[in-house]
Amino acid sequence: MSLTDILSPSDIAAALRDCQAPDSFSPKKFFQISGMSKKSSSQLKEIFRILDNDQSGFIEEDELKYFLQRFECGARVLTTSETKTFLAAADHDGDGKIGAEGIDYIKYR
């Protein structure tokens, strides 16, 4: 399964266009534009599984900086500031990594 099986390619493209400039990425806005905020918890868990590059069950800070590239190979890398902000928004238990529930959690923040 790929992200485009769950999300519209045009919505993904629009979300990536919205955050092309460094330090313009907002997790909540990206979720809204890409359509992720409208997905069910089970769909978000599937998206999480796809985004979890090393399949560890968590998205760690090193993986998170490549978040946009999981949607499109040529997309930019998140800046350190964006990565830390994203991690803070989705790491609801403060362990320094995002579990599947963190992706669902950011939908409501």
| 1 in any annotated domain | no
User: How far apart are the two ends of the chain, measured CA to CA in Å?
Assistant: 27
Residue 18 labeled ligand binder: no
Residue 95 labeled ligand binder: yes
Q: What is residue 71's predicted lDDT score, i.e. its pLDDT? A: 96
Number of domains present in the structure of the chain: 1
pLDDT at 5 over 70: yes
Residue 23 labeled ligand binder: no
| 6 in any annotated domain | no
Share of the chain above pLDDT 90, in %: 73
Per-residue pLDDT averaged across 51-56, rounded?
92
How many Å apart are CA 106 and CA 45, to the nearest integer?
A: 12
| 14 in any annotated domain | no
Share of the chain above pLDDT 70, in %: 93
Residue 58 labeled ligand binder: yes
pLDDT at 48 over 80: yes
CA angle 48, 33, 73 (to 5 degrees): 55
| 7 in any annotated domain | no
Residue 8 labeled ligand binder: no
**Which of these, 10, 75, 47, lies nearest to 90 by C-alpha position?**
47
Residue 72 labeled ligand binder: no
| 46 in any annotated domain | yes
pLDDT at 41 over 90: no
How many Å apart are CA 24 and CA 97, to the nearest integer?
A: 22
Domain extent, residue 77, equals: 33-107
pLDDT band at 84 (very low <50, low <70, confident <90, very high): very high
Residue 91 labeled ligand binder: yes
Q: How does pLDDT run across 72-83, given as a tens digit for each residue?
A: 999 999 999 999
| 10 in any annotated domain | no
Q: What is the CATH number of the domain that holds 82?
A: 1.10.238.10
Q: What is residue 22's predicted lDDT score, i.e. its pLDDT? A: 96
Q: Residue 54's Cα: distance from chain center in Å?
A: 15
Q: What is residue 104's predicted lDDT score, i.e. its pLDDT? A: 63
Q: Which amino acid is at 59?
A: I
| 25 in any annotated domain | no
Angle between helices 27-34 and 100-107 (to 10 degrees): 80
